[in-house]
Amino acid sequence: MNVDTLTNAIVSGMNAGLEQFLEGTIAAVLPVIWLALLGLHLGRPYILDMIDRFTLRLGADLLWLIYIALRDFLILTGVVMSFMFLFPDVVSTDRLPLTGGFAAVMLFGVLLVKLMGDPDHNLRDFRLVTWLLAAGALFYFVPYLFGVMFDGVATGQLLTVSKFLVSNTNTTWAVVLGYITVALFAIMGAVAAGYTLMTGGRAEVPETTSK
């Protein structure tokens, strides 16, 4: 072995290791983000209750704006950090929850409802957002808990199920689900872009003047 061979070996090891470490860290942070955004979404009645107790309009406005900004920023971060579920190489190499991509699709769906509807004032939209978040949480937490975090202690049939739920021990499914996720993202992205182009960035679609 000469200096160049050793250098190349260390460089390859470093790059591959650090990349996997980064992706692993993101995967480990995602459940925290999911829990926080679920907490904030479900905590809406508590915030509204608190807003009613404010004697100053400024305090109430600020609390509501900070609440909305934090809640929506977490949803946005969740979608963005789930981007790795779209990459076939990443899902084949890293230990990720099998349906993590679908969880991201649900989060993206929430953003779409917020863009096109009004979940903070329309009950139907609020219910839709809540259902999407619940489905997304199930898509993320079930394979995360019973797959990624369970295959070390599971035995027998449970081990088979557990391995099925982890992306790098079930690469065929993981890659196919990844492509479905990409397609869903593309469709919803096109809908969002179409809506924004139609409204021209205004709060609502302009009403037609024809009678």
Q: Which is nearer to another protein, 17 or 160 (CB)?
A: 17
Q: Which is nearer to another protein, 35 or 186 (CB)?
A: 186
Q: CB of 112: closest distance to another protein in angstroms?
A: 10
Q: If you search the block for the tokens 């975090």, which residue do you land on?
A: 149
From the list 123, 76, 75, 104, the residue with the least C-alpha distance to 180 is 104
Q: Which is nearer to another protein, 20 or 130 (CB)?
A: 20
The number of residues making up the chain comes to 211
Q: CB of 11: closest distance to another protein in angstroms?
A: 4
Q: Which is nearer to another protein, 35 or 115 (CB)?
A: 115
Q: CB of 149: closest distance to another protein in angstroms?
A: 24
Distance CA 96, CA 27 (A): 7
- Contact positions toward another protein, by CB under 8 A? 1-4, 6-8, 10-11, 14-15, 18-19, 22, 57-58, 60-62, 65, 68-69, 76, 79-81, 83, 86-90, 92-93, 111, 114-115, 118, 120-121, 175, 182, 189, 192-193, 195-197, 199-204
Q: CB of 182: closest distance to another protein in angstroms?
A: 6
Q: Which is nearer to another protein, 18 or 158 (CB)?
A: 18
- Report the C-alpha dihedral over residues 88, 92, 93, 94, rounded to 10 degrees: 90
The helix or strand, by DSSP H or E, that contains position 178, with its residue range, turns out to be: helix 171-199
At residue 97, the 3 state secondary structure works out as strand
Distance CA 135, CA 103 (A): 7
Name residues whose C-beta falls within 8 Å of residue 19's C-beta, 6 or more positions apart in sequence.
Answer: none
Q: CB of 158: closest distance to another protein in angstroms?
A: 28
